[in-house]
Amino acid sequence: DTAVSQTPKYLVTQMGNDKSIKCEQNLGHDTMYWYKQDSKKFLKIMFSYNNKELIINETVPNRFSPKSPDKAHLNLHINSLELGDSAVYFCASSPRRVSGTPVHFGPGTRLTVT
Amino acid sequence: AQKVTQAQTEISVVEKEDVTLDCVYETRDTTYYLFWYKQPPSGELVFLIRRNSFDEQNEISGRYSWNFQKSTSSFNFTITASQVVDSAVYFCALGFLDTGNQFYFGTGTSLTVIP
């Protein structure tokens, strides 16, 4: 029944490691996103994909690489993790070209880099 | 430029008081959407309401009500008879159909309802 799911929910790792966060949506939506929420609760978009095509790529270090194997999945791979990458990462989805339908969020992945 | 401002960083009220969370937005587009989301201490983001730019009707849903005023570019959210379960961070957001359904979030207002 989960609309947007993310794994893992918590991720603790050391600096310099490479890690991935997986996201899946079963809503049939065309567009998926990754958002980062920092310690001050500020939400900022990182990437947006529509039908597997990258359409938004905000100013994000190239250590972050999204991968969309199909339109139901948008995974986030992070290389050479840094302390500043510690945050909560939210995956989200929405149908494109449908008037005002809200973005549905996953439960978030809390990443802690030590 | 597109921007959402939530000037109230933190608000504390005593249970059963009414509270209004302010949201002011900036855009030159004529078609846009406004949203409110709730983020309780458990961390998930919960959709509360969507309003498009052509619909200025105020809306009431139980103890929640929203006041959309294009003249002042505001979309304020009022909780009537607040309850402890209303304690959360509330985000206002501005959305568009173009540019990949880009959303612009405000910085959030942390509401604490004291029993």
Token pair, residue A63, equals: 């250590």
What confidence tier does A99 reach under pLDDT thresholds 50, 70, 90? Answer: very low
Q: Work out whether strand A10-13 and strand A109-113 pair parallel, antiparallel, or are unpaired.
A: parallel
In percent, the amount of chain A with pLDDT more than 90 equals 56
Contact yes or no for A42 and B108 at CB 8 A = yes
The residue of B5, B9, B31, B45 whose CB has the most chain A CBs within 10 angstroms, and thus the best one to mutate to test that interface, is B45
Judging contacts by C-beta atoms under 8 Å, the chain A residues touching residue B51 are: 100
Contact yes or no for A56 and B99 at CB 8 A = yes
pLDDT of B41: 92
Among the listed residues A90, A78, A11, the one whose alpha carbon sits nearest the alpha carbon of residue B91: A90
Q: Is the dihedral of CA B53, B7, B89, B79 positive or negative?
A: negative
Kindly tell me if the per-residue pLDDT of A3 is higher than 50.
yes
pLDDT of B107: 93
Q: Please name the residue of chain B whose CA is at the shortest distance from the CA of residue A103.
A: B47
* Pick from B43, B45, B101: CB nearest A96: B101
The answer to whether the beta carbons of residues A89 and A9 sit under 8 Å apart is no
The answer to whether the beta carbons of residues B91 and B105 sit under 8 Å apart is yes
Longest dimension (CA), chain B: 44
Q: Please name the residue of chain B whose CA is at the shortest distance from the CA of residue A99.
A: B97
CA distance A24 to A2: 9
The answer to whether the beta carbons of residues B45 and B39 sit under 8 Å apart is yes
pLDDT of A102: 62
pLDDT of B98: 63
**Cis before B115? omega within 30:** no
SS3 (DSSP) at A69: strand
* Pick from B43, B50, B105: CB nearest A102: B50
Which stretches of chain B drop beneath a pLDDT of 70? 97-101
CA distance A26 to A42: 27
CA distance B97 to A96: 7
Write out pLDDT tens, residues A23-35. Answer: 999 999 888 889 9
With b meaning 16 or more CB within 10 Å and e meaning fewer, what string describes B36-74?
A: bbbbeeeeebeebbbbebeeeeeeeeeebbbbbeeeebb
Write out pLDDT tens, residues A45-80. Answer: 888 888 777 877 777 889 999 999 998 999 999 999
Contact yes or no for B45 and A108 at CB 8 A = yes
Q: What is the mean pLDDT of chain A?
A: 88
